[in-house]
Amino acid sequence: MTPTIRLNDGNEIPAIGFGTFQIPNDGSTYAAVSEALKLGYRHIDTAVAYFNEAEVGQAIKASGIPRDQVWVTSKLWLQDFGFDAATKAIDSSLTKLGLDYLDLYLIHQPYGDVPGAWRAMEAAKQAGKLKSIGVSNMTPKIWQKFVPEFASKPAVNQVEFNPYFQQKPLRELLAADDVKLEAWAPLGQGNQALLNDPVITALAKKYGKDVGQIILRFENQSGVIVFPKSVHVARIKSNLDIFDFKLEPAEMSAIEQLDTGKGQHDPDADGVKEMLLDAFDVHAND
């Protein structure tokens, strides 16, 4: 059984999941999610803007695993912010996934009518369509802009996180409300400097693990929820195999020292909302 992390609403989320960002909806998502479930993953992360919710749902159904044993996350795209649009979008995601409820639903990009979208998510939670609700890509600045106005606190904030970008100021802010951090790009999106960092490669050698496993273990021991993505079976398998060793405090500290305080994506930058709206039209096929 995968270890779980308790959220501030009392729900238990599997500490490691399987990410589906940029896996195409040409059968590849179905194959990758099917493989992940077969190997023991019980937490799948998708989004309407990944255009692969239907294949995620089909793989879960075909797996034969009872619904209450698979944690499923999806996300609301900013085209659908505001109360009415978000209400429709939640139902649309459930239909595509073929599910009665989602375990976690997130505000994907926090721009525009975020408060209206959040109210719709709270209402859907009341109605039993969503078990937990949260946000994504919220910096301290964006968090302070919106979250104090919310009637309820998010359970998670899903942001870029890896040993080179450890989000320390944000984590201090989230800790006050026991909001858990979820890492997207937990392996640094192929950052070669990170994957060849001498601190990490030395630990990989010591523990007989690969670099990815050391990074994911560091993140897990830091209390961060991770869901690495891969379409390669060996990698899907190895990413899950991080619970048979433990990094020592001095080793955790050595990796903590690698933080540069900078990521590849800056949600506070000018024009991000416009760039994202231009990048995806989630209603193109409606």
Is 50 among the residues known to form the active site? yes
User: Using an 8 Å Cβ cutoff, are 4 and 12 in contact?
Assistant: yes
Quickly list DSSP for 125-159. Answer: HHTTSEEEEEEES--HHHHHHHGGG-SS--SEEEE
Calculate the alpha carbon distances from 189 to 31, 156, 164, 216 in Å: 21, 21, 11, 13
Which residue in 30, 50, 105, 164 is the catalytic one? 50
CA distance 53 to 62: 14
- 251 — phi, psi (to 5°)? -75, -40
Q: Which residue has the tokens 């649009």?
A: 85
CA distance 46 to 53: 6
Catalytic residues: 50
